């Protein structure tokens, strides 16, 4: 039992860190420009496809990962300059319409280029096997994801809280107009941020590729999870995104693994069999509703 819990905790940590890669870009876009970007999931999907295609072509997973990040960063910059820039001053409804249109376009484009079949992405050969860890075996590839996730989280933390650029970002999130008055060029800062967010989403897409399927529509389910994460953490806060992502990742993974078993101990097997999976899949939404109920601004509100 302890071993199962420990293993699921690691899985939850790994999933949470990947959610953080996706949510960190989303929360900054949302927090600084007050912009609802539904197409962030499409950046994740695009990254996964680019990564899988580049990895297949070059035979190297690392090349695929780097190509995906670079490619999506460029696409992100183009998208920001051509379209999103025009949307910041519009209302939320217009942003929903435009970015929903982007989802439709992205899904069909991907289908057009790579076809409707899911793409196969293999983990690097050196990491395909399991490793011994605290007396049980754990897939080496998942450990790599955890390590990369932690590294990126650390880099982002240093970038946001210990550099001048990070200071601008925080100032922009707390009060954009005031930051502009103090001479921060929020427009270009934002183009850069959007590119960074796109690259991080692409990294998550490629890293999760070997574990989940690389297919059309993969962005839609993860997008909602990313929104849950940033609403829990507080819109615009990187720290909130990290805490929210880990909470969502661990609660979701542990809930799915343990809830049905736990329910069986307190109720009849029949009830548990029906209720367990349903309850497990809505745990994170319950968590979000509860947090919004008691702390309507999320755990770490970015705006004072």
Partner 1 sequence: MNKSRRGNFVEAGVLLAAAGLPFILLALGEAFYIGFATRLLIFALAATSLNFIVGYGGMVAFGHAAFFGGGAYVVAFLMQAGIVSAWIAWPLAILATVVAALAIGALSLRTRGVYFIMITLAFAQMIYYSIISLQSAGGDDGLPLAQRSTLAPLDLASDTTLYWIALATLAICLIALRRLARSPYGRALAGLRQNEQRMEALGFPVDRLKLVCFVIGAGVAGLAGALLANQEGLASPNLLYWTQSGMLLVMVILGGVGQRYGGVLGALVLLGLEEALGQITEYTHLVIGLALLAVVLFAPHGLAGLARRRRA
What is the binding site for partner 1 (CB under 8 A)?
Answer: 30, 34, 36, 38, 83, 86-87, 90, 92-94, 96-98, 100-105, 107-109, 111-112, 220, 224, 227-228, 231, 235, 274, 277-278, 281-282, 285-286, 288-289, 292-293, 296-297
To which residue do tokens 């079949």 refer?
A: 117
- Taking the least distance from each CB to partner 1, the nearer of 24 and 39 is 39
- If the CB atoms of residues 60 and 94 are measured against partner 1, the closer one turns out to be 94
To partner 1, the closest distance from the beta carbon of 282 in angstroms equals 4
- Give the number of C-alpha atoms closer than 13 A to the C-alpha of residue 56, restricted to the C-beta side: 12
Nearer to partner 1, 59 or 269 (CB): 269
Supply φ then ψ for residue 119, to 5 degrees: -95, 145
Q: Considering beta carbons, is residue 7 or 252 the nearer one to partner 1? A: 252
| Residue 34: φ, ψ to 5° | 50, 45
> What DSSP assignment string belongs to 277-302?
HHHHHHHHHHHHHHHHHH-TT-SS-S
Are the C-beta atoms of residues 11 and 145 closer than 8 Å to each other? no
Q: What is the CA radius of gyration of the chain?
A: 20
Query: Min. distance of Cβ 292 from partner 1 in angstroms?
Result: 5
Identify which of residues 27 and 206 has a Cβ nearer to partner 1 in the complex: 27
CA distance 8 to 295: 28
* 35 DSSP 8-state letter: -
> To the nearest whole angstrom, how small is the minimum distance from the Cβ of residue 87 to partner 1?
8
Query: Least distance (Å) from partner 1 to the CB of residue 40?
Result: 14
């Amino acid at each position: 039992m302890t071993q199962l819990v420990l293993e699921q905790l690691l899985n939850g940590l790994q999933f949470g860190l990947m959610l953080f890669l996706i949510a960190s870009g989303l929360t900054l876009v949302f927090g600084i420009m007050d912009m609802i970007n539904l197409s962030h999931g499409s950046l994740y999907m695009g990254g996964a496809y680019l990564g899988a295609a580049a990895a297949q072509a070059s035979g190297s997973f690392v090349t695929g990962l780097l190509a995906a990040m670079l490619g999506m960063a460029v696409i992100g910059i183009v998208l920001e300059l051509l379209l999103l820039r025009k949307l910041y001053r519009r209302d939320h409804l217009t942003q929903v319409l435009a970015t929903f249109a982007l989802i439709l376009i992205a899904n069909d484009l991907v289908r057009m280029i790579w076809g409707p079949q899911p793409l196969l992405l293999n983990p690097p050969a050196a990491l395909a096997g399991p490793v011994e860890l605290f007396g049980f075996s754990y897939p080496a590839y998942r450990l790599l994801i955890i390590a990369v996730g932690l590294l990126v989280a650390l880099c982002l933390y240093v970038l946001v809280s210990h550099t001048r650029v990070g200071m601008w970002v925080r100032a922009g999130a707390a009060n954009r107009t005031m930051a502009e008055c103090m001479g921060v060029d929020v427009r270009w800062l934002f183009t850069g941020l959007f590119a960074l967010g796109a690259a991080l989403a692409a990294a998550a897409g490629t890293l999760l590729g070997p574990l989940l399927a690389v297919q059309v529509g993969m962005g839609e389910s993860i997008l909602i999870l990313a929104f849950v994460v940033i609403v829990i953490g507080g819109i615009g806060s990187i720290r909130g995104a990290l805490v929210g992502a880990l909470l969502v990742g661990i609660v979701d993974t542990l809930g799915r693994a343990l809830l049905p078993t736990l329910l069986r101990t307190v109720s009849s097997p029949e009830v548990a069999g029906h209720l367990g999976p349903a309850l497990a899949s809505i745990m994170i939404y319950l968590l979000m509703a509860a947090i919004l109920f008691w702390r309507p601004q999320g755990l770490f509100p970015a705006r004072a």
